[in-house]
Homo-oligomer: A and B are copies of this chain.
Amino acid sequence: MTLADHAAPAPRPGRRADAERNRAAIIEAATVVFAECGGGVDVREIARRSGVGMGTLYRHFPTKDELLATVLEQQLDTWLTDAYRQAVATEDPWRALTGFFEQLLGNQAGNRAVVESYTATGGPGSACVQRCYALIDQLRVRCADAGVLRPGVTTDDLFLLSGALSQAVLTTAESHPGQWRRLLRISLDGLSSRNAEPLP
């Protein structure tokens, strides 16, 4: 897998420019609104903020759920790309893993819809989860190979940790922003090979 696979979506040729602009505007507005208010917002609010009519919105996304899924996927995709880019540029495997989590979580600070989606389905659409898994897996293997990872830690564990910390990020977003970093540090330390007891 390369980063190029997830570059900005190539403008499909036969597509009108303003349609593409509208689609982008909808996603942008929806991203903000969903993050602020969660997945329960009125679709009208999104239409209003994107400056398009309801029909336009539903032409691009035939269902509210589809819009939500698209937004979540795209968001997580962007974040994953960012986080992974930095991780691969980091020599030290442990710092790579650490930095990946830090960046991923930092991005989704205060995003209601993202955490809701973890709760509802175990994460956004599977395609995106797949990718997240794959990236985490690479980082895990690097750490394992370097002998810095606690034995027995699986990719599932790391993925689950990501979701759990998302919750923490959201919880503290307004009252204690940044506190989640302490939790991240704690958890990651628990993942280091210094802790060798077998996991349940």
A160 engages B168 (CB within 8 Å): yes
**Which of these, B160, B172, B180, B195, contacts A180 with CB under 8 Å?**
B160
Within 8 A of B (CB), among A157-200: 157, 160-161, 163-168, 170-172, 174-176, 178-183, 185-192, 194-195, 197, 199-200
A199 CB contacts on chain B under 8 angstroms: 182, 185-186
A179 engages B160 (CB within 8 Å): yes
Looking at the assembled complex, report how far the CB atom of A154 sits from the nearest CB atom of chain B, in whole angstroms: 8
Looking at the complex, which of A7-15, A85-93, A112-120, A134-142 is the stretch in contact with chain B? A112-120
Also in contact, A183 and B160, with CB within 8 A (given A119-B112, A166-B167, A171-B122) = yes
B182 engages A171 (CB within 8 Å): no
A118 CB contacts on chain B under 8 angstroms: 167, 171
A181 and B181 CA atoms in complex are apart in Å by 21
Please report the total number of A residues contacting B with Cβ < 8 Å: 45
A183 engages B167 (CB within 8 Å): no
**Which of these, B157, B167, B170, B186, contacts A190 with CB under 8 Å?**
B186
A185 CB contacts on chain B under 8 angstroms: 190, 197, 199-200
B-contacting residues of A (Cβ < 8 Å)? 40, 112, 115-116, 118-119, 122-123, 150, 153, 156-157, 160-161, 163-168, 170-172, 174-176, 178-183, 185-192, 194-195, 197, 199-200
